[in-house]
Every structure is written in structure tokens, then in C-alpha cells.
């Protein structure tokens, strides 16, 4: 088990028993070309073009890039800029729905007949990225660098952020497909050992997952790991520590310890792409918090957040805020006109909170040090960042911070430590490019 972390009230009872609903296809979708880590995709359609559901509209623009597909059938209304969570701006393709939902021609493939490189090619062409939040292109993850070797694949089913239950519902409702996705990933990478990591508050999934595993004939041995409820258990590096007792070195990657980690919904998307030719055009997300009708929704990529909130009976008030993602690492948005993207795991309606008018001084209690899962010294880092001492921040390994929010959560002075660390990282990167 990893050091640090915090025990949180999870609030999952609000939506965990809500069966996933299909959100109606909107009249218009806004599909950004930059909703993944890496180079934005390059548009291959123009205003006035007719497109089908699942049709390629943005091609890969480099090795670390991701293809983009239409989530509806209709007409390209324009190519414009749109806002993303966090304030980033991306070029987006606007498509008006024709109401027909005509898909591209489906395929039917047996993944066991495919070579590893064929699987990786399908994943790349299907625009699949990590759906736990980072949105790193999955084809890149499946391509093990020369000189490295992967021995294990871990499916991350922890969903340790409070409120969120989308992955949990996917594991209940699409158990066989999720497990099949794991076997496909193992074949693509060439490993013989797979794990599914879940927290103990999801123990009811164990018999479902075990039954699904027995349905597949494979050389791969899959083990289910039930882990303690502890945030950030679902963080890639900490999940590896909990499951394999291996530590990813500072500045390193999971493959450095022979492991590759994939999110539950990413595994499902890989299975659907490889077996049925369905690109990543929808995902399950949770709408919860101060919501009249909390739901888990299967939603088309590009759906405006405003339409989803309206569907769930949300009436925005001055004393509420909207967060994309979970309450610990999610991003507050100030307009609901932004679209759902591949990494949108949830939409939370929460009470508005205000920072103290004046940041309180650190009382040197050391609580932030105790809970930091990366074994950093947040109190010192915060002091250096506050005084814009970027070199000292770098010396104290601020780049290792995963921005989990444990330090800000536990701080009795309510200091905005994570915000300070984000600022420090930006300034260090700027200095490195000069």
C-alpha cells in the first residue's frame, strides 16, 4: 500500500444504483480537435460536408495525437474555436444533427485472429484515449518503447474520486466487454498477467468479474485485487504500488517497472473498436451533487454541458458551481456551453465555496506532508511558489506532484497549495523553453 493519501466520504450512494441511460443525441455537437494529450488532430472535413455517425473528421497529426470522429450523422455547420475545461481553447467541428443517426458500415472481427500491430493500428485509427482524465492516446501506451518490457496490465476500476460512479456502472452493465477489452490489451502488448484493481466499496463486482473472466480462453491469467478505500488509490503510480508493490521512479513511467495501466472505459472502448469497428464517439459520465435527478449517462462526445444539466433538472443558482470531473481533481467551469469530451468523467453541481479573503499563513503542522502520496514537502513547496522561487520548486520536485489535492484538503489554513504548484509547473516549463 502506498504512503499518504486521505480517507474521503465518497457520496457515491447518490448515483451508484442509477442504471446508465442513453442521453438523447443533441441537435448539435461541438467536437474539439484537441481533447487529448498531444498534437490536435487535423480536420478532414469542411463546412457543408455530410458526415455519418462514427466518420473520421480529424486525422492524427503525429505520433502523440488522436483521431476525431463524428458522434452523430448530419452536416458540418462550421469549424470554430471553442472553450474547454480549464480555459483552453481548441478548434472544434460543429455538426448539426439530421435526426437519422446513420452509422458508418459496421464490422465484425475476432480479436484472437489479429496480430498485435493490427490491434494497435485499429486503436490508433479509432481515436481511443485514456478515459480516466489524462486522455493520453491509447495506441501510444500500447506501443512499448524499445529497450522496455511490459509484464503486467492493470485495469483501473478504483474510481476513487467522490461522487463519480460511471466506471462502476460500466463494470456492472458491460462486465464481459470490459474483461474482453483487458484480454485484447494483453494480446496487443504481449503480456500474460492482468489485474483488475477495485476499491473495497465495489466488492460486489468481484463475482461478476470472476464469472466474466472464465468465459474467455486465453493464456493470460487475470487476478482481481480488492484494495482499501483510500484517495488517490486510482492514481496510476499508486495503483501500481498497491497491486504490485512496485514504485515508479521519479520522472519515470509505469513501463519502467514493467507495467501498463488502462481505465475501465478505455478497455471497453478498445474492445468496441477492435471487435465492432466503433470509434470513440461516446462515454458514460456521472451527473450528481445538487441535482434533482442524478444520473449515469451514456453521452455523445460534443454534447453541450448545458443540455445535460437541463436533462437532469438542474437549475443553476448563484450559490452553486459546476465542476467537470471529481471534487478533488476536477475543474470548475464558468460557462455550460462547453462540450463533453473524451476525458469527461462527471459533471458535479456543488455548493459554491470561497477562499478566505486573505490566504492564511502556514502553521507548520505537517499534515500536508503526512498525506502527500508522492512524498513531497507541500508546505515548503507552497512557500517557494508563493514567493516565485521557481528554481527551489524544481529542486523540491514539484514536477512529481500529481495535483491530487490531498494537501489542500487537509490544510487547516486552507492554503491553495495545488493552485500554487500548478503555477510553479507552468513557470518552470516557460523557463525551460527560453
pTM: 0.95
> What's the pLDDT at 134?
82
Share of the chain above pLDDT 90, in %: 91
Domain ranges of the chain: 111-276, 367-433
Q: Do 42 and 233 touch, CB atoms closer than 8 A?
A: no
Instruction: Classify each residue of 195-227 as buried b or exposed e, where b means 16 or more C-beta atoms within 10 Å of its C-beta.
Output: bbbbbebbeebeebbeebbeeeebebebebbeb
Question: Which contiguous run of DSSP H or E holds residue 349?
Answer: strand 346-351
Strands 152-156 and 193-199: parallel
Tens digit of pLDDT for each residue in 395-411? 999 999 999 999 999 99
Angle formed at CA 176 by CA 173 and CA 182, multiple of 5 degrees: 115
At which residue does the C-alpha cell 455537437 appear? 29
From residue 43, alpha-carbon distances to 58, 66, 71 in Å are 4, 12, 15
- Span 83-89, average pLDDT: 88
> What's the pLDDT at 376?
96
Tens digit of pLDDT for each residue in 233-271? 999 999 999 999 999 998 899 999 999 999 999 999 999
Please report, to the nearest 10 degrees, the dihedral formed by the alpha carbons of residues 138, 143, 148, 154 taken in order.
40
CA distance 173 to 298: 12
At which residue does the C-alpha cell 483552453 appear? 88
Give 316 or 46, the one with higher predicted confidence: 46
Tens digit of pLDDT for each residue in 198-224? 999 999 999 999 999 999 988 999 999
CA distance 302 to 116: 31
CA distance 155 to 240: 10
Tens digit of pLDDT for each residue in 59-85? 999 999 999 999 999 999 999 999 998
Residues comprising the chain, all counted: 434
> What's the pLDDT at 200?
96
Domain 111-276 in CATH 3.40.50.11540? The answer is yes
> What's the pLDDT at 286?
98
From residue 327, alpha-carbon distances to 70, 108, 349 in Å are 30, 40, 10
**pLDDT category of residue 432 using cuts at 50, 70 and 90:** confident
Q: Mean of the per-residue pLDDT values for the chain?
A: 95
Tens digit of pLDDT for each residue in 32-61? 999 999 999 999 999 999 999 999 999 999
Amino acid at each position: 500500500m502506498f504512503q499518504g493519501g486521505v480517507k474521503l466520504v465518497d457520496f457515491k450512494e447518490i448515483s451508484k444504483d442509477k442504471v446508465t441511460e442513453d442521453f438523447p443525441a443533441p441537435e448539435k455537437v461541438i467536437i474539439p480537435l484537441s481533447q487529448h494529450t498531444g498534437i490536435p488532430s487535423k480536420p478532414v472535413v469542411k463546412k457543408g460536408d455530410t458526415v455519418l455517425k462514427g466518420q473520421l473528421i480529424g486525422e492524427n497529426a503525429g505520433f502523440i495525437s488522436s483521431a476525431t470522429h463524428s458522434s452523430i450523422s448530419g452536416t458540418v455547420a462550421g469549424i470554430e474555436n471553442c472553450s474547454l475545461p480549464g480555459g483552453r481553447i481548441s478548434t472544434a467541428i460543429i455538426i448539426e444533427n439530421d435526426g437519422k443517426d446513420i452509422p458508418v458500415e459496421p464490422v465484425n472481427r475476432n480479436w484472437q485472429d489479429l496480430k498485435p500491430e493490427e490491434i494497435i493500428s485499429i486503436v490508433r485509427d479509432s481515436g481511443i484515449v485514456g478515459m480516466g482524465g489524462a486522455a493520453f492516446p491509447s495506441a501510444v501506451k500500447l506501443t512499448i518503447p524499445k529497450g522496455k518490457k511490459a509484464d503486467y496490465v492493470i485495469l483501473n476500476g478504483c474510481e476513487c474520486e467522490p461522487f463519480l460512479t460511471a466506471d462502476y456502472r460500466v463494470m456492472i452493465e458491460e462486465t464481459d466487454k470490459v474483461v474482453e477489452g483487458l484480454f485484447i490489451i494483453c494480446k496487443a502488448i504481449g503480456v500474460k498477467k492482468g489485474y483488475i484493481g477495485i476499491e473495497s466499496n465495489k466488492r460486489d463486482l468481484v463475482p461478476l468479474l470472476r464469472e466474466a473472466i472464465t468465459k474467455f480462453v486465453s493464456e493470460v491469467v487475470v487476478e482481481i485485487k480488492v484494495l482499501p478505500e483510500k484517495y488517490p488509490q486510482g492514481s496510476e503510480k499508486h495503483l501500481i504500488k498497491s497491486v504490485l508493490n512496485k514504485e515508479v521512479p521519479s520522472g519515470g513511467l509505469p513501463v519502467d517497472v514493467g507495467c501498463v495501466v488502462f481505465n475501465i472505459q478505455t478497455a471497453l472502448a478498445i474492445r468496441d473498436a477492435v471487435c465492432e469497428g466503433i470509434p470513440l464517439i461516446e462515454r458514460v459520465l456521472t451527473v450528481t451533487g445538487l441535482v434533482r435527478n442524478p444520473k449515469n449517462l451514456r453521452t455523445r462526445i460534443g454534447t453541450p454541458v448545458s443540455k445535460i444539466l437541463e436533462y437532469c433538472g438542474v437549475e443553476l443558482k448563484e450559490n452553486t458551481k459546476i465542476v467537470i470531473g471529481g471534487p478533488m481533481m476536477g475543474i470548475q467551469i464558468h460557462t455550460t456551453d462547453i462540450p463533453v469530451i473524451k476525458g469527461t468523467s462527471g459533471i458535479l453541481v456543488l455548493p459554491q465555496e470561497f477562499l478566505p479573503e486573505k490566504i492564511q499563513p502556514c502553521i507548520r503542522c505537517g499534515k500536508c506532508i503526512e498525506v502527500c502520496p508522492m512524498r513531497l514537502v507541500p508546505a515548503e513547496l507552497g512557500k517557494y511558489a508563493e514567493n516565485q522561487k521557481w528554481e527551489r520548486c524544481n529542486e523540491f520536485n514539484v514536477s512529481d506532484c500529481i495535483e491530487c489535492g490531498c494537501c489542500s484538503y487537509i490544510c487547516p489554513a486552507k492554503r491553495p497549495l495545488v493552485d500554487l504548484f500548478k503555477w510553479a509547473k507552468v513557470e518552470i516549463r516557460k523557463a525551460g523553453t527560453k
